[in-house]
Amino acid sequence: MLAVFIPMVMGSAGNIGTQSLAVVVRGLAVGTIDKKSVRKLIQCQFFIGIIVGFLCGLVIAIVISLIPFLQSSWLLGLIVGGSIMASLSVVCVVGAVMPLLINKLKLDPALASGPFVTAIGDILSLSIYFSIATSLLEYL
């Protein structure tokens, strides 16, 4: 049953990572990001990830919990919702940090950041999902 929700977890994390990446790449291109604003930018992206992750995770947890034919659907909802909340928070920061690191290496962050954020986001979101699921597996 866990495999059904993998695309949702990975897709949500990929979407927020790409959005965060776009915000930072735009800021670098326009010149609104300097050394003083980097910390504030990363904190802002982290809090955005927490808020969006919490809201999406809550809605998804409630919806999955209401599916009548799933056994222990409330626990499955908790696993998927918690995974989305944690994944979105982490991957949002990755999406903000990656273009800054690529820019520091004197490479074009608009070209090189996307594949890295996607790959790292997929790995992290899947790891978070299965870590939470494994820790709660005995109750499922």
Strands (E), 17-91: none
The answer to whether residue 22 sits within a structural domain is: yes
Q: What are the per-10-residue average pLDDT scores of the chain (140 residues)?
A: 90 93 93 90 94 94 83 85 95 94 90 89 96 87
| Nearest Cα residue to 53 out of 95, 99, 25, 24 | 95
Q: What is the CATH number of the domain that holds 112?
A: 1.10.357.20
pLDDT of residue 114: 87
The answer to whether residue 18 sits within a structural domain is: yes
Q: 54: domain range? A: 11-28+37-135
pLDDT of residue 140: 67
The answer to whether residue 1 sits within a structural domain is: no
pLDDT of residue 96: 94
Contact between 24 and 99 (Cβ < 8 Å): yes
pLDDT of residue 120: 95
The answer to whether residue 140 sits within a structural domain is: no
Residue labelled with tokens 């992206």: 45
pLDDT of residue 39: 93
The answer to whether residue 42 sits within a structural domain is: yes
Tally of domains in the chain: 1
pLDDT of residue 1: 78
Phi/psi for 65 (5° steps) reads: -65, -25
Q: Which residues of 87-96 are buried (b: 16+ CB within 10 A; e: fewer)?
A: bbbbbbbbbb
